[in-house]
Amino acid sequence: MMKRVTGIGGVFFKSENPEKSKEWYRKHLGIQSGQYGGTFEWRHAEDEKKKGFTAWGPFDKDTDYFAPSKKDFMYNYRVDDLEALLKVLEEEGVEVVGEMEVYDYGKFGWIMDPDGQKIELWEPNDSVYENMADEENNTNKSS
């Protein structure tokens, strides 16, 4: 049987002032973040040497990135094989939103749940994402 979601890839929310929100979360909760938000590092259960990441970030209240959802938040779930999963979900009648996008740090696709919540699916390339997160953290520490 095909694996579907393997973990939480990220939590994103709309904010009146994303930079002020990032600063508040840094000051009061210790969440370091940069241009794209923060990153939580963890280890894979089946291979403790293998790193994984969960992203966190505020978006501007007027973003259309969550569209067509009208919600103020969006979850990102990690998956193993995005292309195959999107095909199965479409066959099951799930609304797929837009086209899959491919970056060096992973593949992204979007679906809608029955409550009108847009869900982001991410097939990560953790080694590339790790380098991005490290660069972001080093930039923040020197700022």
Question: Residue 107 in contact with residue 101, Cβ under 8 Å?
Answer: yes
- The pTM of the full predicted model, rounded to 2 decimals, is 0.87
Question: Residue 68 in contact with residue 110, Cβ under 8 Å?
Answer: no
- Rounded CA separation 80/22 (Å): 30
CB neighbours of residue 51 within 10 Å: 15
Q: Is 64 exposed, middle or buried (0-12, 13-18, 19+ CB in 10 A)?
A: exposed
Given this model, what pLDDT does residue 68 score?
A: 96
Q: Long-range contacts made by residues 83-87, C-beta under 8 angstroms, separation at least 24?
A: 83/107, 84/2, 85/2, 85/4, 85/109, 85/121, 86/111, 86/121
- In the chain, the number of structural domains is 1
How would you write the pLDDT of the chain (143 residues) with one tens digit per residue? 788 999 999 999 999 999 999 999 999 999 999 888 999 999 988 889 888 999 999 999 999 999 999 999 999 999 999 999 999 999 999 999 999 999 999 999 999 999 999 999 999 988 878 777 666 655 444 44
Given this model, what pLDDT does residue 129 score?
A: 81
User: What are the DSSP E strand ranges found in the chain?
Assistant: 5-15, 33-34, 37-44, 47-60, 73-79, 96-103, 106-112, 118-124
| Domain encompassing residue 48 | 5-142
Q: Residue 49: which CATH number? A: 3.10.180.10
